[in-house]
């Protein structure tokens, strides 16, 4: 088994900076944006991106979390998971541009579950997807709007994202 | 059957080795180095020889509840356990409160031919506790009833109990009391104690047994009568009997094998195999009744063999019937709880499981000495194996045993009822006396 | 978690997990669409041998909010009243494809008998068995105490240092028993107050203090005072002489209500005998959590059904351990994304 680092600390920082600029550019400014991170590391990234977008865009950006455990389509295949909190910022999501933030995009099923969860919470004007790593192998017709790094991988490789707040180090590795 | 049998090398009541010659229903000779031409020789080296066991408390369920057991199937279970005589409790349907019913039971026992079935008569009509049954008629009948009991129910009315104790003196009878104050045990499900408090099951307090025994020994003393106490289960009850005997009261008491071994902790899973009346008690009570049996305060072991159909036990606790089968396992449980713990000897086993029960029940021809000329009602028992008790060990119609899955020592190898073989080399015979 | 039969054997970890998941369930009730698709396609059977509209409706609401299908079976007028055994009733439900059975029964131990019998493969939730246990009631009571005390910061917290006093017929109360075990597991200290006739004869194994005097108990400053319903039939079995005497000695009247600390709450599992064990003032005061308990009941029961039904089918021999641990911290999630 070998492990390769594909993103170092500086790479991650640059990727998040670029994503933040792209969000502002596509939205033509900070108005109406709400970032919702998908637990666990998506939430950390959402807060970072939110801070960066606020800095570049000159306005505070509401950031929250969206747990998708209850909406997964593979619950009966795995042992029961405890859900994480869903925190929708004050102001809600109705009429807003919701940017879902996740660390790794793979089959796309988490994002499908997130779309279902959003539907039960309110009616955003639009939903966009930002992901730090896109490793391919989509099983559903879902594509990201903002990507940190495209990482071709084989199915049985493991992509691990570690962030300072949760893991003490900053790196993205791929294990085969 | 008139086969002459020569058993070689048995340990008589666990001590001296001897050969036993059985001919024409009696012990023709017993001692060392016996030989007899034409006798079938059977090697019983190392097996313990006991007088055929006598159970003073068995439920044979016939007439009326033949789905659980019949006199035939119950007799077979008894023989498999080393018994040659059982006293059949009267809570049948119809209740055995007349000469007619007890004579019927006697006849059925004789027809079955495995053990001597001695009927017990009810104390009151229908066991309702209101009027005395025709105790004299039952005593004079062919069944020669001497033991009377309303077992299953307590003779609660003190006046009725007094009268019954007095009345049976006329024919050397004895009242066998099921000591349970009904008012203190309404709706009771298990022993009242720490376990019942946690399980939310209504409690059956020890005092409900003890207060009746205390009353009854005083009544027996007052009217100068014999009293027998059924299935004694608590430390307090042992103390009361000890006190009564010191005062010279003519009281005897029995304990069941399950009360010598099992406690109410077993109820925690709500497994109704452990539901019984009187209920399983605490560890302190188990130790006290063992001590009571060892020092003679408790006179005998009696099984209270109580068969029930599967649906009466495979259900929620509250709906389940009380009772455990116990004939096949009795000697093995007594070995586990009393012999292997060093509390009694094989000689004591012969006394508490054969001689004394026969004497209390005034049953002649059983519990007799192991000497020349006496009836050959014998049990040869191997104490050495240790096996898990399974339904394969049961011979009656019902399987409600609390020992299923539990390892027990010992094995009954031969049982002879008045010279007729009923268990041969560990196998219960289909027809008494007929070996393959 | 394969069955939820009692709180006596519920570990602290499992208890906190249920309470924390209940927080998430409670949150969904604030949203526009109060339903989750999580148990879609699962069938929950409410097997109620004892009448209980409130508990049954609570479980029904919980199951439906998770999109499960609900079948209600009540014993009255059914085959059971014609003498059908628990075994046959259970096997009928199995044949109908029940995934979970929520059972309320008058016989203590019936849920355990059902769960261990081999008659059904469904998960069993005890909704109250005789005088033995009522685990979801204790869980919703603990949830309520925690929520009042810690509000939005409840997740992950136990009840260490909280003083709870339970008043009433302990001997016959499954609510009392379940609360004693669960509250102790969560670190609370429990005092029981009752007439001497209505406590079990031997409570040597119980982690509680027992008092016969309610005023003494209130003077000790409980954080939560839980009043139990008294059944008047007990009067006929000589447990206490009259309603009046019971109410005077063990009822929460206006005077005793005044004696409670500023932040103390008054709880009642319902249904209440207003004027008997609890006065109208107490029942309707801001200290009273009676209505919250009902709402919290749905969230807690949603959590219980979720934890019982959402995961992979488990064989009885399978242990939870590593697979669950991995799922819980999110590392196993990566590969299925």
* Chain A residues within an 8 Å CB radius of C31: 120-122
CB pairs under 8 A between B and C: 77
- Is the Cβ pair A79, C37 closer than 8 Å? no
| CATH number of the domain encompassing residue A139 | 3.40.50.2020
pLDDT for the residue numbered A75 = 82
For the cut 60, the answer to whether the pLDDT of residue C335 exceeds it is no
Q: Which of C115, C111, C45 is nearest to C78 (CA)?
A: C45
The SS3 of residue A164 is helix
- In whole angstroms, what is the distance from residue B88 CA to residue B74 CA? 10
Q: Are residues C175 and C233 in the same domain?
A: yes
* Chain C residues within an 8 Å CB radius of B196: 200, 202
Which residues does B254 contact at the CB level (< 8 Å), separation at least 6?
B56, B57, B228, B229, B230, B231, B232, B298, B299, B300, B301, B302, B357
| Nearest CA distance, C154 vs chain A (angstrom) | 12
Among chain C residues, the shortest Cα distance to B319 is held by C107
Which residues does C48 contact at the CB level (< 8 Å), separation at least 6?
C55, C56, C72, C73, C74, C75, C103, C104, C127
At B143, the pLDDT band (50, 70, 90 cuts) reads very high
What are the percentages of helix, strand and coil residues in chain A, rounded to 5?
Answer: 35, 25, 40
* Chain C residues within an 8 Å CB radius of A74: 336
Q: Which two tokens stand for residue C70?
A: 């609900």
Q: What is the model's pTM?
A: 0.89
- H-type helices in B54-189, by residue range? 71-80, 99-112, 135-140, 158-167
Q: A105 lies in a domain?
A: yes
Residue A123's CB is within 10 A of a number of other CB atoms, namely 12
Chains in contact with C, counting 3 or more C-beta pairs less than 8 Å apart as contact: A, B
Identify the active-site residue in B304, B348, B393, B411. B304
Write the Ramachandran bin of C48: left for phi over 0, alpha for psi from -120 to 50, otherwise beta.
beta
What DSSP string describes B94-112?
S-S-SHHHHHHHHHHHHHH
* Chain A residues within an 8 Å CB radius of C327: 78-82
Q: What is the pLDDT of residues B46-94, one digit of tens each?
A: 999 999 999 999 999 999 999 999 999 999 999 999 999 999 999 999 9
Per-domain residue ranges for chain B?
5-49+373-428, 51-360
The arithmetic mean of pLDDT across residues C149-169, rounded, is 97
For the cut 90, the answer to whether the pLDDT of residue C300 exceeds it is yes
Q: Are residues C109 and C148 in the same domain?
A: no
For the cut 80, the answer to whether the pLDDT of residue B300 exceeds it is yes
Q: Which two tokens stand for residue B149?
A: 């009991």
At C79, the pLDDT band (50, 70, 90 cuts) reads low
Q: How far is CA C284 from the centre of its chain?
A: 22
pLDDT for the residue numbered B265 = 98
The arithmetic mean of pLDDT across residues B165-178, rounded, is 98
pLDDT for the residue numbered C84 = 82
pLDDT for the residue numbered C77 = 61
Residue A134's CB is within 10 A of a number of other CB atoms, namely 22
Q: Are residues C207 and C109 in the same domain?
A: no
- In whole angstroms, what is the distance from residue C59 CA to residue C71 CA? 11
Q: C6 lies in a domain?
A: no
What b/e sequence results for B49-85 when a residue is b if at least 16 CB atoms lie within 10 Å of its CB, and e otherwise?
A: bbbbbbbbbbbbbbbebbebbbbbbbbbbbbbbbbbb
Backbone angles phi and psi of C249, in degrees to 5: -90, -35
What are the percentages of helix, strand and coil residues in chain C, rounded to 5?
Answer: 45, 15, 40
Q: C4 lies in a domain?
A: no
pLDDT for the residue numbered C336 = 46
The arithmetic mean of pLDDT across residues B21-37, rounded, is 94
Q: Which of C202, C210, C236 to mutate to test the interface with B (most CBs of B within 10 A)?
A: C202
Contact A151, A135 (CB under 8 A): yes
Q: A79 lies in a domain?
A: no
Percent of chain C with pLDDT over 70: 90
Q: Are residues C113 and C158 in the same domain?
A: no
For the cut 90, the answer to whether the pLDDT of residue C318 exceeds it is no
- Which superfamily is assigned to B51-360 in CATH? Metal-dependent hydrolases (3.20.20.140)
At C96, the pLDDT band (50, 70, 90 cuts) reads confident
Residues 28-87 of chain C with CB under 8 A from chain A are: 28, 31-33, 35-38
Among chain A residues, the shortest Cα distance to C303 is held by A82
Among chain C residues, the shortest Cα distance to B205 is held by C201
pLDDT for the residue numbered C80 = 64
A17 against C76, higher pLDDT: A17
- Is the Cβ pair C205, B198 closer than 8 Å? yes
* Domain assignment of residue C147, given as a range: 135-292
Q: How many domains is chain C built from?
A: 2
The structure tokens 């004299």 sit at: B136
The SS3 of residue B167 is helix
pLDDT for the residue numbered C234 = 76
For the cut 80, the answer to whether the pLDDT of residue C277 exceeds it is yes
| CATH number of the domain encompassing residue C115 | 3.40.50.1370
pLDDT for the residue numbered C327 = 41
At A74, the pLDDT band (50, 70, 90 cuts) reads confident
Q: What is the pLDDT of residues C213-247, one digit of tens each?
A: 999 999 999 999 999 999 887 777 889 999 999 99
Q: What is the pLDDT of residues C176-185, one digit of tens each?
A: 999 999 999 9
Among chain B residues, the shortest Cα distance to C173 is held by B200
- Is the Cβ pair B316, C202 closer than 8 Å? no
pLDDT for the residue numbered C330 = 42
| Nearest CA distance, C118 vs chain A (angstrom) | 22
Which residues does B91 contact at the CB level (< 8 Å), separation at least 6?
B59, B122, B127, B150, B151, B152, B153
At C78, the pLDDT band (50, 70, 90 cuts) reads low
pLDDT for the residue numbered C337 = 54
Q: How many domains is chain A built from?
A: 1
* Domain assignment of residue A13, given as a range: 3-74+84-175
Chains in contact with A, counting 3 or more C-beta pairs less than 8 Å apart as contact: C
Q: A160 lies in a domain?
A: yes
Backbone angles phi and psi of A86, in degrees to 5: -105, 120
CB pairs under 8 A between A and C: 92
A80 against C264, higher pLDDT: C264
The burial of C46, by beta-carbon neighbours within 10 Å (0-12 exposed, 13-18 middle, 19 or more buried), is given as buried
For domain B5-49+373-428, say whether CATH 2.30.40.10 is its number. yes
Q: Order of strands, edge to edge, in the sheet holding B227-229?
A: B147-149, B174-177, B227-229, B251-255, B300-301
The SS3 of residue C56 is helix
* Chain C residues within an 8 Å CB radius of A121: 31-33
* Chain C residues within an 8 Å CB radius of A102: 337
For the cut 50, the answer to whether the pLDDT of residue C311 exceeds it is yes
Q: Which of C18, C37, C68 to mutate to test the interface with A (most CBs of A within 10 A)?
A: C37
For the cut 90, the answer to whether the pLDDT of residue B319 exceeds it is yes
Cis bond upstream, residue A164 (ω within 30): no
- In whole angstroms, what is the distance from residue B226 CA to residue B171 CA? 11
Q: Which of C107, C177, C202 sits opposite B193 (nearest CB)?
A: C202
The SS3 of residue B24 is coil
Backbone angles phi and psi of C190, in degrees to 5: -120, 130
| Nearest CA distance, B223 vs chain C (angstrom) | 35
Q: Which of B14, B44, B56, B16 is nearest to B32 (CA)?
A: B16
A173 in contact with C, Cβ within 8 Å: no
Backbone angles phi and psi of C320, in degrees to 5: -80, -70
A169 in contact with C, Cβ within 8 Å: no
Specify the range with the lowest mean pLDDT, choosing from A152-161, B115-124, B209-218, C137-146: A152-161
Q: Which two tokens stand for residue C196?
A: 């001497």
- Is the Cβ pair A78, C330 closer than 8 Å? no
Q: What is the pLDDT of residues B366-393, one digit of tens each?
A: 999 999 999 999 999 999 999 999 999 9
Q: Which two tokens stand for residue A116?
A: 């279902």
Is B304 a known active-site residue? yes
Q: Which of C81, C111, C113 to mutate to test the interface with B (most CBs of B within 10 A)?
A: C113
The arithmetic mean of pLDDT across residues B157-177, rounded, is 98
Residues 271-330 of chain C with CB under 8 A from chain A are: 306-307, 310-314, 320, 323-324, 327-330
For the cut 70, the answer to whether the pLDDT of residue C333 exceeds it is no
Between strands B116-119 and B147-149, the pairing is unpaired
Q: C154 lies in a domain?
A: yes
Chains in contact with B, counting 3 or more C-beta pairs less than 8 Å apart as contact: C
Q: Which of B190, B197, B205, B313 to mutate to test the interface with C (most CBs of C within 10 A)?
A: B197
Q: Which of B328, B341, B249, B244 is nearest to B286 (CA)?
A: B341
């Amino acid at each position: 088994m070998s492990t390769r680092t594909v993103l170092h600390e500086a790479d991650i920082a640059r990727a998040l900076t670029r994503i933040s600029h792209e969000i502002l550019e596509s939205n033509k400014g900070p108005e109406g944006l709400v970032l919702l991170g998908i637990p666990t590391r998506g939430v950390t990234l959402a807060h970072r991106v939110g801070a960066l977008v606020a800095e570049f865009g000159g306005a505070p950006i509401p950031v929250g979390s969206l747990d998708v455990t209850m909406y997964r389509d593979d619950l009966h295949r795995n042992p029961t998971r405890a859900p994480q909190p869903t925190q929708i910022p004050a102001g809600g999501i109705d009429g807003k541009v919701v940017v879902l933030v996740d660390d790794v995009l793979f089959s796309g099923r988490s994002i499908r579950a997130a779309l279902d969860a959003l539907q039960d919470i309110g009616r955003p004007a639009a939903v966009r997807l930002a992901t730090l790593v896109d490793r391919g192998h989509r099983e559903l017709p879902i594509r990201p709007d903002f990507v940190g790094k495209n990482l071709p991988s084989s199915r049985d490789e493991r992509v691990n994202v570690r962030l300072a707040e949760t893991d003490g180090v900053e790196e993205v590795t791929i294990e085969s | 059957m008139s086969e002459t049998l020569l058993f070689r090398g048995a340990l008589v009541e666990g001590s001296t080795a001897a050969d036993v010659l059985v001919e024409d229903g009696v012990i023709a000779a017993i001692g060392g180095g016996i030989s007899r031409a034409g006798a079938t020789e059977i090697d019983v080296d190392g097996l313990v020889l006991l007088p055929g066991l006598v159970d003073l408390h068995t439920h044979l369920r016939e007439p009326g509840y033949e789905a659980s057991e019949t006199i035939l199937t119950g007799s077979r279970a008894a023989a498999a356990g080393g018994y040659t005589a059982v006293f059949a409790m009267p809570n049948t349907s119809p209740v055995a409160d007349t000469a007619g019913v007890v004579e019927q039971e006697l006849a059925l026992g004789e027809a079955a031919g495995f053990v001597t079935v001695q009927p017990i008569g009810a104390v009151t009509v229908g066991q309702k506790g209101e009027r005395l049954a025709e105790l004299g008629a039952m005593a004079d009948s062919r069944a020669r009833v001497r033991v009377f009991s309303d077992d299953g129910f307590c003779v609660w009315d003190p006046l009725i109990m007094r009268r019954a104790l007095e009345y049976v003196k006329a024919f050397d009878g004895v009242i066998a009391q099921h000591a349970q104050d009904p008012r203190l045990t309404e709706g009771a499900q298990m022993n009242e104690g720490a376990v019942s408090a946690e399980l939310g099951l209504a409690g059956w307090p020890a005092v409900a047994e003890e207060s009746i025994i205390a009353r009854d020994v005083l009544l027996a003393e007052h009217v100068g009568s014999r009293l027998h106490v059924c299935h004694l289960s608590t430390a307090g009850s042992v103390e009361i009997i000890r006190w009564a005997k010191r005062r010279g009261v003519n009281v005897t008491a029995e304990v069941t094998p399950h009360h010598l071994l099992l406690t109410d902790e077993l109820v925690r899973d709500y497994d109704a195999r452990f539901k019984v009346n009187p209920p399983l008690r605490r560890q302190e009570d188990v130790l006290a009744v063992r001590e009571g049996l060892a020092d003679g305060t408790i006179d005998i072991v009696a099984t209270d063999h109580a068969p029930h159909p599967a649906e009466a036990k495979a259900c929620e606790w509250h709906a389940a019937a009380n009772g455990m089968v116990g004939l096949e396992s009795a000697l093995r449980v007594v070995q586990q709880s009393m012999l292997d713990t060093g509390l009694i000897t094989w000689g004591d086993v012969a006394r508490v499981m054969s001689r004394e029960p026969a004497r209390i029940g005034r049953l002649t021809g059983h519990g007799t000495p192991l000497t020349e000329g006496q009836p050959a009602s014998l049990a040869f028992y191997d104490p050495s194996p240790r096996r898990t008790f399974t339904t394969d060990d049961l011979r009656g119609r019902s399987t409600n045993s609390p020992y299923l899955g539990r390892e027990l020592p010992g094995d009954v190898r031969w049982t002879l009822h008045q010279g007729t073989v009923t268990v041969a080399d560990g196998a219960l015979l289909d027809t008494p006396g007929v070996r393959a | 978690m394969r069955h939820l039969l009692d709180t006596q054997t519920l570990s602290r970890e499992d208890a906190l997990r249920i309470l924390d998941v209940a927080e998430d369930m409670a949150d969904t009730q604030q949203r526009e669409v109060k339903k989750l698709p999580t148990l879609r396609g699962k069938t929950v059977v409410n097997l109620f041998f004892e009448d209980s509209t409130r508990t049954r409706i609570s479980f029904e609401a919980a199951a439906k909010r998770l999109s499960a299908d609900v079948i209600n079976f009540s014993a009255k007028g059914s085959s059971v009243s014609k003498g059908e055994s628990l075994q046959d009733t259970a096997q009928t439900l199995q044949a109908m494809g029940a995934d979970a059975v929520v059972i309320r029964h008058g016989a203590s131990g019936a849920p355990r008998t059902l769960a261990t019998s081999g008659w059904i493969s469904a998960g069993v939730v005890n909704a109250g068995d005789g005088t033995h246990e009522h685990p979801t009631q204790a869980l919703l009571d603990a949830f309520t105490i925690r929520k009042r005390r810690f509000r939005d910061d409840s997740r992950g917290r136990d009840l260490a240092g909280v003083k709870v006093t339970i008043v009433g017929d302990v001997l016959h109360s499954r609510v009392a028993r379940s609360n004693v075990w669960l509250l102790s597991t969560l670190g609370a200290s429990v005092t029981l107050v009752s007439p001497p006739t209505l406590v079990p004869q031997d409570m040597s194994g119980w982690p509680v203090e027992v008092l016969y005097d309610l005023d003494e108990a209130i003077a000790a400053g409980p954080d939560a005072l839980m009043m139990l319903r008294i059944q008047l039939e007990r009067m006929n079995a000589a447990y206490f002489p009259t309603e009046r005497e019971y109410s005077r000695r063990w009822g929460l009247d206006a005077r005793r209500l005044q004696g409670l600390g500023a932040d103390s709450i008054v709880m009642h599992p319902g249904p209440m005998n207003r004027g008997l064990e609890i006065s109208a003032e107490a029942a309707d005061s801001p200290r009273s959590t009676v209505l919250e308990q009902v709402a919290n009941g749905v969230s807690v029961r949603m959590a219980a059904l979720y934890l019982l039904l959402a995961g992979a089918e488990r064989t009885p021999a399978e242990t939870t351990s590593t697979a669950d641990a991995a799922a819980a911290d999110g590392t196993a999630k990566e590969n299925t994304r």
